[in-house]
Amino acid sequence: MHLYAGKKHQKYILNDCPNDQLLFAMGIRNGLTVSIVTKQPIGGPIIIRIKNREIAIDKALACHITAKAVT
């Protein structure tokens, strides 16, 4: 599944991140465990938490990040 389809408050492991310089600079990479904080309305970004950092990621970009739910 892609990250944007994820549920709030659920943890995910990122499997496949697109090769994007901005993602890379923010330290978003494969193997990272993230949780979804919230999604913004009308096509706004998704907000994920990585440890204690919060990062807003564009909807279009988040749709290209493949993730797996952590149970």
- Contact residues for other proteins (CB under 8 A)? 20-23, 25-27, 29, 37-45, 47, 51-58, 60-61
Least separation in angstroms between CB 43 and other proteins: 5
Least separation in angstroms between CB 10 and other proteins: 16
- Residue among 60 and 70 whose Cβ is closer to other proteins: 60
Cβ atoms of 32 and 3 within 8 Å: the answer is: no
End-to-end CA distance of the chain: 15
